[in-house]
């Protein structure tokens, strides 16, 4: 998205654009950021697109509008860049569900029991967990990576049990599933979805594979956020879409394909169902981090190995992927 002034031009947005020029920064924003932030960003994307785009940035500074694991990924793939995250507290329930010491103990137990496995880890994980993994996947490349794991290995899939279960279905590979989930996608109300479908029988339901099976089985299309955009882009005539993912995604869909109607699938406890971690980033915090040069993602020892697993999984074409010595 071009760095033009946003429609609702307020003082903070103008300050950001000026500071951005002054420090030499590129703003990357995930589709789950609110519309103001997506509008201001130079690049919007899903986890995979943003990780790849971060490697092409030529400015010295990257402001990552997303959550901590995404900003860490950008840093690991671009060690020479200064990577800023507007709010360092922007975490993720999936990251929290896989403590690295617990994973290391579980892997050890599997090895002691003679199990030959590779660990395939969702990018929504800590750098320490990535360093314990053989592969990193996003919702955008998970199926391709799972198919690359040689048949003689079992797959330990960490930490999202719903994405793992979905991947088992589409690839036919049996997996050992870690018991983690996304607090946003976990709580969509199936009852409300069915009610909406009854009210709008013509509507197309699109759902993220982080949703539980009881939601996915009512979806017409299942895919990561970038795949959802591609799918919606195939419909030229005005349609209604029921959207089972973080609702800020609808801002991106609306701005690209305004002819359609987008209705959020409500959560069981909250009709808006926004990700509270993503919501920590604000225009004010973006301005402040550009002005202060912090919070900055600082290199951690575990990044040394995690970056190799990331690069092998996200950047290298299948035929040239090096085999890293871990997990068997
Ligand atoms: P994608 O960006 O891969 O669609 O993942 C969604 C998500 O939950 C990010 O936190
Ligand atoms: Fe984590 Fe879910 Fe929020 Fe994404 S939407 S950052 S997976 S809690």
Angle (deg, nearest 10), helices 68-77 and 303-310: 80
* 43-45 β-sheet, strand order: 43-45, 25-30, 61-65, 82-84
Q: Count CB atoms within 10 A of the CB of residue 96.
A: 14
- pLDDT at residue 45 above 70? yes
pLDDT digits (tens, 9 = 90+) for 192-233: 999 999 999 999 999 999 999 999 999 999 999 999 999 999
Residue 266 — very low, low, confident or very high, per pLDDT cuts 50/70/90? confident
Q: Find residue 288's DSSP bridge partners.
A: none
156 C-alpha to ligand 2 centroid (Å): 21
Q: Which ligand is nearest to the CA of 276?
A: 2
pLDDT in the model for residue 319:
46
293 C-alpha to ligand 1 centroid (Å): 26
114 C-alpha to ligand 1 centroid (Å): 34
Domains along the chain with CATH numbers: 11-91+278-292 (3.40.50.10800), 94-183+303-320 (3.40.50.10800), 185-264 (3.40.50.10800)
Average pLDDT, integer, range 158-180: 97
Handedness of CA 219, 36, 96, 100 (dihedral sign): positive
Q: Which ligand is nearest to the CA of 31?
A: 1
pLDDT in the model for residue 109:
98
Return all residues near 198 (Cβ < 8 A) that are at least 6 apart.
none
pLDDT in the model for residue 325:
44
Residue 318 — very low, low, confident or very high, per pLDDT cuts 50/70/90? low
- pLDDT at residue 324 above 60? no
What are the DSSP calls for 82-122, one per residue?
A: EEE-S-TT---HHHHT--HHHHHHHHHHHHHTT--EEEEEE
Residue 30 — very low, low, confident or very high, per pLDDT cuts 50/70/90? very high
**What is the rounded distance in angstroms from the CA atom of residue 113 to the CA atom of residue 34?**
47
> For residue 33, which of 71, 75, 82 has the smallest C-alpha distance?
71
Q: Find residue 135's DSSP bridge partners.
A: 120
pLDDT in the model for residue 322:
45
Q: What are the percentages of helix, strand and coil residues in the chain, rounded to 5?
A: 40, 15, 40
Ligand 1 atom at shortest distance from the alpha carbon of 48: 3
- What percentage of residues in the chain have a pLDDT greater than 90? 91
How distant, in Å, are the alpha carbons of 3, 142, 210, 273 from that of 138?
A: 27, 6, 11, 22
Ligand 2 atom at shortest distance from the alpha carbon of 124: 7
The predicted model scores a pTM of 0.93
What are the DSSP calls for 262-320, one per residue?
A: EEEPPBSS-SS---TTGGG--HHHHHHHHHHT-SB----TTHHHHHHHHIIIIIS-GGG
Average pLDDT, integer, range 300-325: 80
What are the DSSP calls for 159-180, one per residue?
A: SBHHHHHHHHHHH---EEEPSB
Return all residues near 39 (Cβ < 8 A) that are at least 6 apart.
1, 6, 7, 255
- pLDDT at residue 152 above 90? yes
**Structure tokens belonging to residue 310:** 């990331």
User: Parallel, antiparallel, or unpaired for β 221-222 and 240-244?
Assistant: unpaired
């Amino acid at each position: 998205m071009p760095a033009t002034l946003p429609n609702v031009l307020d003082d903070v947005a103008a300050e950001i654009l000026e500071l951005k020029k002054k420090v030499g920064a590129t703003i990357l924003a995930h589709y789950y950021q609110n519309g103001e932030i997506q509008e201001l960003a130079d690049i919007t994307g899903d986890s995979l697109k943003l990780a790849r785009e971060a490697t092409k940035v030529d400015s010295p500074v990257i402001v990552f509008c997303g959550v901590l694991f995404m900003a860490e990924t950008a840093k690991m793939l671009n060690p020479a860049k200064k990577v800023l995250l507007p709010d360092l507290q922007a975490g993720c329930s999936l990251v929290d569900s896989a403590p690295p010491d617990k994973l290391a103990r579980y892997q050890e137990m599997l090895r002691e029991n003679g199990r030959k496995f590779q660990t395939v880890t969702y990018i929504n994980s800590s750098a320490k967990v990535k360093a314990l993994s053989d592969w990193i996947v996003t919702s955008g490349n998970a199926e391709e990576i799972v198919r690359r794991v040689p048949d003689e290995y079992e797959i330990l899939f960490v930490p999202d049990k719903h994405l793992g279960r979905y991947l088992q279905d589409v690839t036919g590979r049996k997996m050992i599933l870690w018991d983690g989930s996304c607090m946003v996608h976990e709580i969509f109300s199936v009852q409300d979805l069915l009610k909406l479908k009854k009210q709008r029988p013509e509507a197309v339901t699109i759902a993220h594979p982080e949703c539980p099976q009881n939601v996915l089985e009512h979806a017409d299309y299942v895919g990561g956020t970038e795949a959802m955009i591609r799918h919606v882009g195939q419909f030229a005539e005005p349609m209604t879409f029921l959207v089972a993912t973080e609702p800020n995604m609808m801002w991106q869909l609306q701005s690209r394909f305004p002819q359609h109607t987008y209705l959020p699938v409500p959560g069981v406890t909250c009709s808006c169902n926004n990700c509270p971690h993503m919501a920590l980033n604000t225009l004010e915090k973006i301005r402040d981090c550009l002005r202060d040069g912090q919070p900055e993602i600082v290199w951690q020892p575990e990044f040394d190995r995690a970056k190799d697993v990331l690069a092998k999984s996200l950047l290298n074409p299948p035929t040239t992927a090096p085999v890293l010595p871990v997990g068997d």
